[in-house]
Structure 1
C-alpha cells in the first residue's frame, strides 16, 4: 500500500480520555498488538485492505487475541468478558479501527466471534452453550448471523427461508444473501419463517452447523471495498435437530433485533476510527507534498478542507459519545442511536471524500489507503441499516404521539 502507517496521534490514548482507566489500559495493549505483532503478521502474509486474510490466518489471529484477553471483551463477565460500559466499548473500538490495521475487524471477532452472539447467550440452552457458544467464545469456532435474503433486507420480517418441523427435526430451505463472515463460519444463526400460513409472519432462530448436509456457501463476489468475507448461504432440505431452535418459536426476529439500538451505535466507532485514519493520511500528505515551492498545507484551499474534515469528525464523535453515555444511563434512545449511525456514516464518507481530494492523483490510485477508505466508508451508508432506514426511525420517534409536546 502506498499510504504511510498510522501516525502515533491516530492510535495513542489522548489527554482527557473520556473512558475509564481500565479502558485506557486496554487500548494501549490492543493497539500495541495491532501495530506490532499483527502488523508483522500482515506484512509476512501480504495481507492488506484489498487482500483478505485466509481462514487459517484469521484463526491464528482469533486464538492469539483470545490468549491476550481481547477476543472475548464483549462477552458477559462470567464468560470472560471485560465488563466495560457502552462508552468504554465505543472508545476501544474507535481506537482499534484508528490503527488502520487490516485485522481491525477481527481482533475482537466482530465478523465471526463473540460480538455475533448477542442475545443468544441469554437464550441458549446448556447443551447449546457447551456445543457452540463456548467454543465461539474461546475462538475455536466461528459464527455468522444470517437474516438478509433476496426479498428481505430492510424488511427483515419478510424472510422466505422456511423451517418446517418434521418429527424431532427441522428442515430448512432457502437462500441467505450478503452474509458477513459466512465464508469462514463453522455455524450460522439462521432466521427463518416457521409460519404454516404464508399470510402470517412468524420467524424463529436456529443454529445450523456448516457440516450438515444441505448447507452450502456460495461466494464468488467481493464487496466494493475489495474484500471477500461475504457470501450467500444456500439451504436445501437441511435437517437439524429440534434442539437447535434458539429460544421460543416465533421469537426469532425479536432475538435478532433485541439490541438494535446498542448495535446501531456500536457500528459508529468503526466509521469514526477509519475517518480518523483518512484525516491523518490527508494531513501527512499535505505536509509532505510540495507545489510552487512550499508544502500544499500552506494553501488556504487545503487548510479549509482539513478544517472541515476535523470539525465534522469532531461533531460525529461527540454525538457518538453522548449516545453511549445515554445508553449507560439506562435510556433507550432509539432516535438518537439512529441519528448517530446516520450522521457518523455520512460524515465519515465526506471525510474520506475530502481526503481523496487532498491527495489528488495519489488518492485515486488503487493501493492508496484513502482510496480504500473512500470505498469502505461508502459501504457504511448501506450496511447495518441504510441512511434512509435511519431517517425513517428518527422520524417515527419524533412523530410518536407520546413524544410530541402539544401546544
Structure 2
C-alpha cells in the first residue's frame, strides 16, 4: 500500500487538470448551495406543507432523510468510481440532484417533498467522491492539501450563495423556499461542461488496466502475487486487511465527530441567531448577516486548513480544528450574547472550526489507501458516519422540542468533538508531501 505510481502515469495535461478542478469545484459549490438552502428554508417548508406551529421534529426529519440518502448515494458512488471511473459518475450525480431539487420546488405536500429530497440526497452524496478523487489524483504532492482545501471551500461558497439568494428572495416570504429550490435545477448545466471538457484520472486509468489484467489472469488460472488485492470487491478489501481496517475505523470515528458536530449543532445557527435578533429588536435581515458570517468563517477555515495541512501536517491540523470546534461550540451556545456584534464574531469563528474542518475528509483518507480502493475508502469515511449524523439531527430536534432550547441541544451534541480530539493523532501515519499510494 505504500508503493507509488510513476510520475508519467500520474501526469495529466494542464488543460485537463484545470477542467477537472473547475468541474469538481462547481459541482461541490452547488452541492453546498443545495445543502444550506434546506437549512435556511426548512422552517418555511414545514410551515407551508404542515402548518404553523409544527413540531421541530419535522425540520429534523428533513435533515435526517437527506443525510441518510446522502450516505447511501455517497457509498454507492465510491464503489462505482473505482470500477467505472471518476468522470462518468460525476455527470450522473450532478444531473440527479439537480432534477430532483427542481421538482421538489413543486411539491404539493410534505410526503412528496421528502421523497424528492431523498432522490436529491442520493445525487448530492454521489457527487463528492468523483470530484474529490479527480482533484486529488491530478494535484501535486507538495500542495495537495491546499488544492483539496480550495476545492472543499466551494461547499462554503455555496452556503454563501444560498444565503445571498435567500436574502434577495425574502426570508419571511412563504413562497421563498420554492423559488430557492427551483434555482437548484441550474447545476444540470454543469453536466454539459463536464461532458465536453473533463478528462479521466490517469491514476484510475492505470489502476483499472491493472485490475482488468488481474481478472483476466485469474480466469485463466494464472494469478500472480498481489492479484487478489486487485480482484477483491473494494469494500471487502478495505475491511479484510488488518492495516486498512484499523485506519478506516479510526477515520470513521473522526468523521462521525465532524459530521454529527456540524449537522446536529451548527445547522441550528440560523434559528439561534434569529431568536437573538428578535430579542434585540433588530431587523430580521440581521439574521441573514450573522449566517453569512458563519459561512464566511467556514470558507476561511477551509483555506487555512489546506495551508496548515501542508506545513505542520495533517494530524496536528486535525487536532487544532477539533479542539477549536469544541471550545467555540461551548462559547457560542453556552453564553447569553447581549451584543449582536459579538455574537456575529463568535459565529464566524465557530464556522472557521466547525465548517472549515471538513476539508480533512477529502485530503487525509485518500492518502492512506491505494488507487483501486481510493474512491470506496474516501466515500466510506465521508458518508457512513452520516447515519450517526442523521440520528444526531433527530436527537437535537427532540432535545429542542423537549427541553425548549436550541442552546441545550447544541451543547449536548457538540460535546462529540471530544471524540475528534482523541482520534486526530492516532488515525494513521503523517502523509504531508508524500505521493499517493499505488
**What TM-score comes out, normalization by structure 2 length?**
0.34
Which is helix-richer, 1 or 2?
2
Larger strand share, 1 or 2:
1
When normalised by structure 1's length, the TM-score is 0.36
**Which gives a bigger RCO, structure 1 or 2 (Cα 8 Å, sep 6+)?**
2
